[in-house]
Amino acid sequence: LQRVRVRLRARPSNYEIKVGASLLDQLGAQSRQSLDPRARSIALISNPKVFKLYGERARESLRREGFSVKHWLMPDGESHKSLGTLEGALEFLSRCRLERSDAVVALGGGVVGDLAGFAAAVYLRGIAFIQAPTTLLAQIDASVGGKTAVNTAAGKNLIGAFHQPRAVLIDTDTLQTLPRRELTAGWCEAVKQGAAGSRKLFDQTCAFLSSPSAVERASSSTRIERLIAAHCAFKAGIVAGDEQESLARLDHRSRRILNFGHTVAHALESVTNYRRFRHGEAVGQGMLVAGEISKRLGMLDASELELLREAVSSTGRLPRADDLDQAAIRAALTHDKKSIGGQLKWVLLERIGRAVIVDGREITERLLRASLRAGLRQ
Ligand SMILES: NC(=O)c1ccc[n+]([C@@H]2O[C@H](COP(=O)([O-])OP(=O)(O)OC[C@H]3O[C@@H](n4cnc5c(N)ncnc54)[C@H](O)[C@@H]3O)[C@@H](O)[C@H]2O)c1
């Protein structure tokens, strides 16, 4: 069992992340420990696929600790991380008659976690919630840091809130049922975290990915526990220093460095109508373009870029991106919601483990074209 302590400036928001095998059976005990002693009811939010696999165990564990448990299943998929689904979730919380001392538990991937977390953030102006993430991406990234959101027609995650969980319980056994593409997408985000902020984490991730057995990658070995815990600790460290992603921060420890690869990823997702790529897969492609830009600006050594390429390719096969209309990708880049005052900020690399934030005006159209061509080649 691995433990990671998340220390935020406001002391009551500190919480613990636990990573280990069979932890779902401890969901009840963990909730008892993390919640207000008066907590009686738990509203469990999941989706049909995840609930069928793990819902009964989660419910059982909560009931053993004396909680009254009601569950509600949102439809599966990113397109349901919407205001309409949020309304359904809030109606469910009202029907449960949750009180201020009660809690929401999110059981699922990042979609369930983001939506359930947002519902908990706004219901009664904020009630406790606990994350039980079941995808690799949610375990190393989405469940840590307190960002919650839903999408609108105008873009992803446009409506949301910062709302920290009371605890994050990561049962690594759940990865055994995760489809291969979801694992690849998660590994791409893992490579991103290391590349943007920690050479040690990058090396640890690459060493794990280079081990021959694909089965082992999804197993509940202590090696994966340690790796997931290292990723949580890394992300928690960044979040603790910049909880709300301050606009003023442009340094190499600002929360914004976690957007490495995301500028191009969002453009790729948008030009393919969110149908071709899992988000993490698009981040894999996006990191290669950002790496090319960094190299062409004279910031990143070619050998470091090669390491990044190898790391991305070790995550698995990514959907192709070299057949897409480059003009459409460039047009989509100009609509990036992370731009400030109309200007895109690129997260680039000085070396593996150290990101820099660069104003979009420093990247010429010619350099961008060349980097897209080179970065997106198969
Ligand atoms: N809050 C944050 O800081 C943050 C960070 C990164 C991403 N996100 C968000 O996370 C979302 C993506 O999350 P995701 O990649 O987990 O996708 P997801 O939640 O859609 O899960 C992917 C698929 O795997 C299924 N699934 C989940 N667990 C499973 C399991 N153990 N076995 C079998 N199938 C399982 C899901 O039902 C779904 O079909 C996006 O909406 C993104 O915006 C949030």
DSSP string, 57-114: HHHHHHHHTT-EEEEEEPPSSGGGSBHHHHHHHHHHHHHTT--TT-EEEEEESHHHHH
Cα-to-centroid distance, 192 and ligand 1 (Å): 17
Strand partners, 343: 340
- CB burial of residue 73 (10 Å; 0-12, 13-18, 19+): buried
Closest ligand 1 atom to Cα of 175: 31
Cα-to-centroid distance, 274 and ligand 1 (Å): 14
- Residue closest via CA to ligand 1's atom 10 equals 110
Which residues touch 193 (CB under 8 Å, ≥6 apart)? 140, 141, 201, 205, 231, 234, 235, 258
pLDDT digits (tens, 9 = 90+) for 25-35: 999 999 999 99
279 has pLDDT over 60: yes
Split at pLDDT 50, 70, 90, the class of 215 is very low
Question: What is the distance between the alpha carbons of residues 144 and 131, in angstroms, rounded to a whole number?
Answer: 9
pLDDT digits (tens, 9 = 90+) for 31-63: 999 999 999 999 999 999 999 999 999 999 999
Cα-to-centroid distance, 219 and ligand 1 (Å): 18
Q: Which long-range contacts (CB under 8 A, 24 or more apart) does 323-329 make?
A: 324/268, 324/271, 324/272, 324/376, 325/271, 326/369, 326/372, 326/373, 328/271, 329/264, 329/267, 329/268, 329/271, 329/372
Closest ligand 1 atom to Cα of 81: 41
Pocket test for ligand 1, best of 182, 187, 193, 228 (most atoms within 8 A of CB): 182
For 65, other C-beta atoms within 10 Å of its C-beta total 18
Strand partners, 243: none
Cα-to-centroid distance, 50 and ligand 1 (Å): 11
Which residues touch 3 (CB under 8 Å, ≥6 apart)? 16, 17, 18, 19, 229
Phi, psi for residue 211 in degrees, rounded to 5: -70, 135
- Residue closest via CA to ligand 1's atom 8 equals 142
Give residue 217's pLDDT. Answer: 57
With CA atoms as reference, report the closest residue to 27 among 95, 129, 122, 100: 129
Closest ligand 1 atom to Cα of 54: 31
* pTM exceeding the 0.85 threshold for the entire prediction: yes
Cα-to-centroid distance, 37 and ligand 1 (Å): 31
**Percent residues over pLDDT 90 in the chain:** 81
C-alpha to C-alpha distances, 307 to 7, 95, 227, 293, nearest whole angstrom:
32, 52, 19, 15
pLDDT digits (tens, 9 = 90+) for 335-361: 765 666 667 889 999 999 999 999 998
For 95, other C-beta atoms within 10 Å of its C-beta total 11
Closest ligand 1 atom to Cα of 174: 31
What average pLDDT does range 282-290 have in this prediction? 98
318 has pLDDT over 80: yes
Residues touching ligand 1 (Cβ under 6 Å) are 47, 49-50, 53, 76, 78, 81, 108-112, 114, 134-135, 137-138, 141-142, 145, 147, 156-157, 174, 177-178, 182, 185, 279
- Residue closest via CA to ligand 1's atom 30 equals 178
pLDDT digits (tens, 9 = 90+) for 84-119: 999 999 999 999 999 999 999 999 999 999 999 999
Closest ligand 1 atom to Cα of 145: 3
With CA atoms as reference, report the closest residue to 57 among 95, 93, 91, 21: 21
Pocket test for ligand 1, best of 114, 158, 274, 281 (most atoms within 8 A of CB): 114
Lookup: tokens for 361: 């005006």
Cα-to-centroid distance, 138 and ligand 1 (Å): 6
- Residue closest via CA to ligand 1's atom 5 equals 142
